[in-house]
Amino acid sequence: MLTDKRCPWGSSTDLLMQDYHDHEWGKLNLDEHYLYEMLVLESFQSGLNWAIILHKRENFRRAFKNFIPKEVAQMTEADIANLMTDSSIVRNRQKITAAIKNAQALLMLDAKYGSFAHYLQSFIKTPIVHHPQTFEDVPTTNSIAQKMAKQMKKDGFSFVGPVTLYSFLEAVGLINDHLESCPFKYHG
């Protein structure tokens, strides 16, 4: 008899990573602030280890005004300069600027679609559930993320490549890639 095992990355001894794996990743959450938070965090993760970002999450939350898009969209060049001196976050000017630009783009989509969630659901109507057998079977992108990346760039977003967007879709539960053996593959 096979015993259930977490996805390999969620089996970390890092309790924050375990908690994120068990209670957030792959679980559908279309709350506007959460969607923006995960978009920011996934954008900052690009080129880095997710654990680094996860451990700085509260600092990012403080730096980016509790991930309230309307407030972040109003951040100025002075705010960017201040964040560039904040060692508690990842100090990357392009990513900081992208977080502000993405808040502005998100607000434009809110006006057009009613919410960022509705915009995302124009690409994925219902969550996609894979439950691959092995970690090697988990893709890093797909045609939907590629299509979204092109459209989101047209809609004014930046740092939203297909790999980043695929990770974002997994994070917010629009794609569920928990392994078949993972006890956290189903979220009610």
Active site residues: 20, 42, 50
The Cα diameter of the chain in Å comes to 60
Kindly report the backbone phi and psi dihedral angles of residue 36, in degrees, each rounded to the nearest multiple of 5, phi listed first: -65, -40
Collect all residues with Cβ–Cβ distance below 8 Å to 162 and sequence separation of at least 6.
141, 142, 145, 146, 148, 149
What's the CA gap between 169 and 54, in Å, rounded?
A: 17
128-129 and 175-176: which strand pairing? parallel
- Dihedral in degrees, nearest 10, Cα atoms 145, 146, 152, 157: 90
What's the CA gap between 49 and 90, in Å, rounded?
A: 12
